[in-house]
Amino acid sequence: MHNPSLYDVVIAGAGPVGLFLACELRLANLSVLVLEQAEDPRSPLKRLPFGMRGLSAPTIEAFYRRGLLNDVAAPQLVKDGPGGSHASAAHWMQLSRRPAGHFAGIQFYHDNIDTSKWRYRLPSPAATSIAVEMESLEAVLAARANAMGVEIRRGLGVEAFDQSDNDVAIRAGGETFRGRWLVGCDGGRSTVRKAGGFDFVGTEPEFTGYSVEVEMADPDKLLLGRHYTQTGMYTFARPGTIAMVEFDGGAFHRSLPLTLEHVQAVLRRVSGTDVTMTDLRLGTTWTDRAYRATTYRNGRVLLAGDAAHIHSPLGGQGLNLGLGDAMNLGWKLAAAVHGDAPTDLLDTYSRERHSVGAQVLDWSRAQVALMRPTQSTRALEAIIRDLIDTRDGATYFAERVWGVSLRYDLGGNHPIVGRSVPDFELADGTKIGDLLRTGKGLFLDFDPRAPLRALASRWRRRIAYVASGAKDRLGLSAVLVRPDGFVAWASEGAADGEGALRAASRWFGEPDVT
């Protein structure tokens, strides 16, 4: 029986990352407590226009595989042919070409993307990109977490903790909570990271960024859209939404209160106009500081989301990076709690996601390099504009921005190993995304002659076995899929029983006891 004073996992932070991780842990019947410092999850900055976030392919696939996609995206999607859906964003229908994303504000377009190069993607309800409102996303995840039995305590931020060989004692709001494990999902200024002694390293900011909603006496003095200037960059959308950066080394961020006079002065410097503001309705600042923890685990304490890595919001990669952390960590931490995990399984969380985080931070830094107000940067920008408007260029940037190129280094000889499993359609019409909702692994046996049923039965509690033909099996005879939807082993032709056995042991530990 569960000891009510000892939770399997305590999570610091009830943002999207913490809530999604809590749901993943509840799939494995773990007891989960989420502690959140803010009493009210609502905030104007989580609503339009500043609360809009783009979800990439791995995130959308994760929600699809857990039965969350319709709740997250249904109000904001329009069908886009047999291959998926995309956000019904605003203005693209009136444009001659359909925007697909951008790199440092340099647009690439759908008509230039060669999806035939993505051999291991099949038509799926999961799109390559959609847009959601942060407040709406958090509400959906909170509702799912509550329905699954997650305990969420708001108004209680983690203040300190002590860990032993067996558990972690966490102090929050004058109370003490105990968990077998503690996961910090408490943002860029994470208390868990600081108290846990994690090293946090990276590069200092070059600019202060501003996102503001204002009223102006003379808005016609500003050009619509994104513009690079001799002192920075600004983007203007009517009636008064402005994003801008000033290359001041991040000096203003969190240094002084944000005032109408200051914002007007910065906008005048950046835009080169004498525009006059009459009201500052909403505003926040940010920088391009890019840091990450050197490891995401210290004993029984782990980090995920912004607690593990921070960077500028350019390109909207941060939310996706954090949700990917949660999807990768959840099943591994559950296996550790249940005693099913191989000895180094939790270490693969830090290793796999640390590498992905490094790529995203460098992607952010590269965009900053294209925004610097120098003549050489504008020359480099012109070259990138030419490259991104080619078929190969647009395809490359789409792979990176949409997350299609994500691949973990899991060993193995087949090129699909480490990639997101294609959404195979089985003979009875079932899709693979539907089969992953329980959070178990999956053995797909496309060849009824393949001798995998007996092998899979040895892990029957942790791996579901499915023997079926498929509409398009991409030349594969059998596939082992991790609970997070990534391929751990694959075979063409006669199934390699020894390879499957090694992969199952590596990712799922010892076989079930009969």
314-335 confidence digits (pLDDT tens) = 767 889 999 999 999 999 999 9
SS3 370: coil
Query: What is the dihedral angle through the alpha carbons of 245, 249, 255, 258, rounded to the nearest 10 degrees?
Result: -10
- Structural contact between residues 66 and 147, judged by C-beta atoms closer than 8 angstroms: no
Query: Backbone phi, then psi, for 58, in 5-degree steps?
Result: -60, -35
Cα–Cα distance measured from residue 434 to residue 354, given in angstroms and rounded to the nearest whole number:
29
Close Cβ partners of 462 (under 8 Å, ≥ 6 residues apart): 335, 340, 440, 441, 508, 509, 512
Superfamily of domain 6-79+124-200+291-370: FAD/NAD(P)-binding domain (3.50.50.60)
Read off the pLDDT of each residue in 372-401 and give the average, rounded to a whole number. Answer: 96
Task: Look at residue 413 in the predicted model and tell me its pLDDT.
Answer: 83
SS3 389: coil
Cα–Cα distance measured from residue 403 to residue 86, given in angstroms and rounded to the nearest whole number:
15
Cα–Cα distance measured from residue 499 to residue 352, given in angstroms and rounded to the nearest whole number:
21
Task: Look at residue 298 in the predicted model and tell me its pLDDT.
Answer: 96
Which CATH architecture does the domain made up of 208-287 adopt? 2-Layer Sandwich (3.30)
Close Cβ partners of 167 (under 8 Å, ≥ 6 residues apart): 6, 178, 179, 180, 300
Specify the DSSP class assigned to residue 420: B
Strands of the 208-216 sheet, one edge to the other: 225-228, 232-237, 241-246, 208-216, 277-287
pLDDT of residue 2 exceeding 50: no
Close Cβ partners of 503 (under 8 Å, ≥ 6 residues apart): 412, 480, 488, 489
Task: Look at residue 513 in the predicted model and tell me its pLDDT.
Answer: 67
Distances (CA, A) of 421 to 417, 432, 441, 445: 9, 8, 12, 14
Read off the pLDDT of each residue in 388-414 and give the average, rounded to a whole number. Answer: 95
Distances (CA, A) of 110 to 52, 113, 475: 21, 5, 28
Which CATH architecture does the domain made up of 432-508 adopt? 3-Layer(aba) Sandwich (3.40)
Q: Per-domain residue ranges for the chain?
A: 6-79+124-200+291-370, 208-287, 432-508
Task: Look at residue 450 in the predicted model and tell me its pLDDT.
Answer: 67
Read off the pLDDT of each residue in 369-384 and give the average, rounded to a whole number. Answer: 95
Task: Look at residue 90 in the predicted model and tell me its pLDDT.
Answer: 42
Q: Which long-range contacts (CB under 8 A, 24 or more apart) does 235-243 make?
A: 235/105, 237/49, 239/215, 240/213, 240/214, 240/215, 240/216, 240/281, 241/49, 241/212, 241/213, 242/210, 242/211, 242/212, 242/213, 242/214, 242/267, 243/209, 243/210, 243/211, 243/212
Read off the pLDDT of each residue in 344-350 and give the average, rounded to a whole number. Answer: 96
| Structure confidence by residue, pLDDT tens digits, 242-284 | 999 999 999 999 888 999 999 999 999 999 999 999 999 999 9
Return the structure tokens found at 5.
């004073």
